[in-house]
Amino acid sequence: MLAKDSEKKIILTGDRPTGKLHLGHYVGSLQRRVELQNSGAFDQIYILIADDQALTDNWDNPQKIRDNIIEVTLDYLSIGIDPDKSNICVQSGIPALHALTFYYMNLVTTQRLSRNPTVKAEMGMRGFSSAEGENDNAQGLPVGFFTYPVSQAADITAFKATMVPVGEDQEPMIEQTREIVRRFNQTYQRDVLVEPDILLPETEAQRRLPGIDGKAKMSKSLGNCIYLSDDAGTVKKKIMSMYTDPEHVNIEDPGHIEGNMVFTYLDAFCHDDHFAEYLPDYKNLQEMKDHYARGGLGDVKCKKFLIKVMEERLAPIRAERARWEADIPAVYDILARGTANAVACTNETLAQVRDAMRINYF
Ligand code: ATP
Ligand code: MG
């Protein structure tokens, strides 16, 4: 039996196409999406490639956004997003999102937007300032960037998403969306829009996988990433250069586990079976950690083990990517299909919104 509109479980999630996806994205969101997709518990899943949002701080480089739409799609397909179960869609191809953004802008104040902590932090990183003369090096604040939480609310509500699986940095966006939904439904006296729930990552590693330098979160702008599309040689080189324990100079020295990236990544990616297969000296990760902490276990041995563990995970992803890379027209076809489904769904919401506002003149 088909679920009634109001009972449907709908997921909306997505990424800005500003670069290839890395292991941080993989543990933080991509793995979860595949699980949710394959659980069969949702009526519809939309994965939005937010190219218009990416332009709000990359307006001078549309080529970068254009190139990364296909890269991100290849990343999705290679990790197991199934285009028959999830609609991969491109924001700029979905006109209802722009119209909804315009209507929602009337329901939000500049003061409210200025309080958004994620936008504040991002303004700082990009050198955007809202105050004239506050900082001589700062550029002005582009209106498009300032209002992107409103466009994100349009994205979420246009699909009537009930669940939005995202990182912690997105919490203020979901709160803003819920406020807009309440404001809209109250102002126009109709329950058209749906308040979404956020689904946050569960573990610390899922919330924040550090980069190979051990300094900060893995982030494409920090150059500390292992990309899903890196070849085996590159992954090996990156793991061999990984930050471990600077005080662990000789093999006999006792070593630190905490803050040691090799163990952080093993925590995230290795299972007991890997020991039987690649490192039978130990039964499990705890035994290996204990040995390292006592002294007598060298970094190179640990890194070689991690390389094998990561290869087991990454080799099939790489193979799947290669298969799709050989048929780029099929990838565009998937985007066209997903976007067409998104257009149909969001046009329906837009019609209901205009109806509620009584501005459907024609
Ligand atoms: P940039 O350097 O441009 O900020 P990035 O590599 O940090 O890029 P984002 O586009 O900021 O990637 O990340 C999008 C989403 O991916 C975040 O909301 C978060 O959920 C998840 N994510 C990104 N990096 C990590 C990470 N290192 N660990 C866990 N999740 C991550
Ligand atoms: Mg980031």
Best mutation site among 29, 53, 76, 204 for ligand 1, i.e. most ligand atoms within 8 A of its Cβ? 29
Give tens-digit pLDDT for 261-293: 999 999 999 999 999 999 999 999 999 999 999
- The pLDDT value recorded for residue 281 is 95
Q: Which residue has a Cα nearest atom 21 of ligand 1?
A: 25
Can you give the residue range of the structural domain that contains 175?
5-209+327-357
Tell me the backbone φ, ψ of residue 46, rounded to 5 degrees: -120, 130
Q: Which of 335, 339, 318, 319 is nearest to 68 (CA)?
A: 335
DSSP string, 219-288: -GGGT---BTT--HHHHHHHHHT----TT--STTS----TT-HHHHHHHHH--HHHHHHH-TT-SSHHHH
Q: Which residue has a Cα nearest atom 25 of ligand 1?
A: 24
- The pLDDT value recorded for residue 134 is 53
Instruction: In whole angstroms, give the CA distance from residue 70 to residue 335.
Output: 9
Let me know if residue 216 belongs to a domain: no
Residue list, CB under 5 A from ion ligand 2: 219
3-state secondary structure of 13: strand
Give tens-digit pLDDT for 80-126: 999 999 999 999 999 999 999 999 999 999 999 999 999 999 998 88
Burial class of residue 79 (count of CB atoms within 10 Å of its CB; 0-12, 13-18, 19+): buried
Let me know if residue 302 belongs to a domain: yes
Using the mean position of ligand 1's atoms as its centre, give its distance from the Cα of residue 168 in Å: 10
Angle at 289 between CA 285 and CA 294, to 5 degrees: 150
- Closest atom of ligand 1 to 16 CA is 10
- Looking at the fold, whether 282 and 346 belong to one and the same domain comes out as no
Q: What is the largest CA-CA distance in the chain?
A: 80
Let me know if residue 215 belongs to a domain: no
- The pLDDT value recorded for residue 168 is 87
- Looking at the fold, whether 190 and 333 belong to one and the same domain comes out as yes
Using the mean position of ligand 1's atoms as its centre, give its distance from the Cα of residue 65 in Å: 16
Using the mean position of ligand 1's atoms as its centre, give its distance from the Cα of residue 193 in Å: 28
Using CB distances shorter than 6 Å, the residues near ligand 1 are: 15-16, 18, 24-25, 27-29, 166-167, 169-170, 207-209, 217-221
- The pLDDT value recorded for residue 250 is 94
Specify the DSSP class assigned to residue 6: G
3-state secondary structure of 143: helix
The ipTM (two decimal places) reads: 0.95
- Looking at the fold, whether 129 and 173 belong to one and the same domain comes out as yes
- Looking at the fold, whether 136 and 189 belong to one and the same domain comes out as yes
- Looking at the fold, whether 315 and 278 belong to one and the same domain comes out as yes
Q: Which residue has a Cα nearest atom 10 of ligand 1?
A: 16
Instruction: In whole angstroms, give the CA distance from residue 117 to residue 175.
Output: 12
Using the mean position of ligand 1's atoms as its centre, give its distance from the Cα of residue 140 in Å: 25
Q: Provide the strand spans (E) within the chain.
A: 10-15, 44-49, 87-90, 128-129, 139-140, 163-165, 197-199
- Looking at the fold, whether 308 and 336 belong to one and the same domain comes out as no
3-state secondary structure of 166: coil
Q: Which residue has a Cα nearest atom 20 of ligand 1?
A: 167
Report the DSSP pairing between strands 128-129 and 139-140: parallel
- Looking at the fold, whether 237 and 196 belong to one and the same domain comes out as no
Using the mean position of ligand 2's atoms as its centre, give its distance from the Cα of residue 42 in Å: 28
Let me know if residue 225 belongs to a domain: no
List, in order, residues 6 or more apart from 354 with CB less than 8 Å away: 360
Angle at 256 between CA 251 and CA 258, to 5 degrees: 150
- Looking at the fold, whether 43 and 92 belong to one and the same domain comes out as yes
- Looking at the fold, whether 81 and 202 belong to one and the same domain comes out as yes
Let me know if residue 235 belongs to a domain: yes
List, in order, residues 6 or more apart from 177 with CB less than 8 Å away: 149, 152, 153, 156, 157, 195, 196
- Looking at the fold, whether 204 and 246 belong to one and the same domain comes out as no
Q: What is the CATH number of the domain that holds 288?
A: 1.10.240.10
**Ligand lying nearest the CA atom of residue 57:** 1
- Looking at the fold, whether 128 and 248 belong to one and the same domain comes out as no
Give pTM, 2 decimals.
Answer: 0.94
- Looking at the fold, whether 87 and 177 belong to one and the same domain comes out as yes
**Ligand lying nearest the CA atom of residue 17:** 1
Q: Which residue has a Cα nearest atom 16 of ligand 1?
A: 25
Q: Which segments in the chain show pLDDT lower than 50?
A: 1
Let me know if residue 362 belongs to a domain: no
Q: Which of 277, 311, 284, 282 is nearest to 296 (CA)?
A: 282
Intra-chain end-to-end CA distance of the chain, in Å: 34
Q: Which of 140, 59, 153, 58 is nearest to 102 (CA)?
A: 153
Q: What is the CATH number of the domain that holds 173?
A: 3.40.50.620
Evaluate whether 272 touches 283 at the Cβ level (below 8 Å).
yes
- Domain count within the chain: 2
Would you state the structure tokens that stand for residue 24, as one six-digit string? 């941080």
Let me know if residue 220 belongs to a domain: no
Let me know if residue 214 belongs to a domain: no
